[in-house]
A and B are shown apart, each in its own frame.
Chain A
Amino acid sequence: MNLLNLFKSRGGTAPVARERLQILLAHERVRLGPQDLLARLRDDLIATILRHVEIDPEKVMVKLDSDAAISTLEIDIEIPREKIVGDGKRRPLGDGELSAA
């Protein structure tokens, strides 16, 4: 950090802290391995889907399979039919939308 930065941040070092943390944690999370990645992915998926459709978080399965050549990510989300059809408030799903990957 040079002198100019020090001056800029006088009285408000929080933005610097925030930026440093974001960069650092992005690295550390990748290092923590696939277990952690999967759990975070699952949490994010659930949060995203819940914004549109009511689902049971326990019915979300996220699996990573790897062999020598490729890795596949399998996502299986059970959506109760009555939650997405004819409820009036939500747009019914089109064919193929949100189906298992």
Chain B
Amino acid sequence: MGNVIVVTSGKGGVGKTTSTAALGSALAERGQRVCVVDFDVGLRNLDLVLGAERRVVYDFINVAQGDAKLAQALIRDKRIETLYLLAASQTRDKDALTDEGVERVIGELKQSFDWVVCDSPAGIERGALLAMRFADQAVVVANPEVSSVRDADRIIGLLDSRTQRAEGGQRIDKHLLLTRFDPARSARGEMLSVADVLDILSVPLLGIIPESEEIIRASNLGAPITMNAGVSPAAKAYRDAARRLSGETLPIAMPTEKKPFLSRLFGRRAA
């Protein structure tokens, strides 16, 4: 049975879609069967970041409503053969997705994939709640600034109360992915430090993704940063994060500007 992960944040534009694509392709490059699912109805973007925007025929809503088979809607990546996309609908309204429809599709995906990675829409409304509803684990994406951290805290509260696992008295594993981290500004004390954010949110750290031009280039090209053996620090950070998701324990490298040094923050547990 596959593992269902929701990539969520509360705040918009912090890097959920970028992270879904990068983590999904990094896991798939390790030979795992991965399906990335776009929950952002009406504002789909995952297809674009993955370079599959011209191949969408059927979408999530078509499958959830029984108008198409899952196999018809899944788009297989042309570069990594174990990577698939289930696109969001661009035209339908948000209420077209129901709890039951989503549960059935996620259930089906779990049968055939090792990982089902759900790209949540921003906000704390219905769309975001649906994206987290059936997850086993959550990647909480945050940037090191006040409003993003506050919203992340809000989302953590919802993960602990509004998911199917939480309602059944089980815990949902949460991981913090700190993105758009600017080491120089953090060193000058202009940006919350990694320690600050960890301290405030007390969720174990999955990785630190530096602010990077390469990420924007990757989106422009429609090829997630981790593809094509990308060697940028951001690609490496996402690849390591994917390995941690698979259960490996790796030291977390603190991004630095010039002389690189490793700060070893071994997988901190919630304290």
Q: Do A and B bind each other?
A: yes
Residues of A with Cβ closer than 8 Å to B? Answer: 11-15, 17-18, 20-22, 24-25, 28-29, 32-33, 35-36, 39-40, 42-44, 46-47, 50, 57-58, 61
Count residues of B near A (Cβ-Cβ below 8 Å): 27
**Apart from the given pairs A18-B199, A18-B200, 14 other A-B contacts in the complex at a CB distance below 8 Å:** A12-B189, A14-B191, A15-B189, A25-B150, A25-B200, A28-B150, A28-B153, A36-B157, A36-B160, A39-B161, A44-B202, A44-B270, A46-B171, A50-B269
A56 to B20, CA, bound (A): 29
Report B's interface with A, CB cutoff 8 A: 145-146, 149-150, 153-154, 157, 160-161, 166, 169-171, 186, 188-193, 196, 199-200, 202, 269-271
Query: Are A32 and B157 in contact (CB-based, < 8 A)?
Result: yes
Whether A61 contacts B169 in the complex (CB less than 8 A), given A13-B190, A29-B153, comes out as yes
Partner of A47, one of B146, B199, B270: B270
- Of A11, A29, A36, A42, which contacts B189 at CB under 8 A? A11
Q: Is the CB of B170 within 8 A of A58?
A: yes
B192 near A18: Cβ-Cβ < 8 Å: yes
Shortest CB–CB separation between residue B192 and chain A, in angstroms? 5
Q: Is the CB of B192 within 8 A of A14?
A: yes
- Asked if B190 contacts A11 (CB within 8 A), the reply is yes
Instruction: Collect the chain B residues with CB atoms within 8 Å of residue A25's CB.
Output: 150, 153, 200
Q: Which residue of B lies closest to A39 (CB)?
A: B160
Chain A residue numbers with a CB within 8 Å of B190 are 11-14
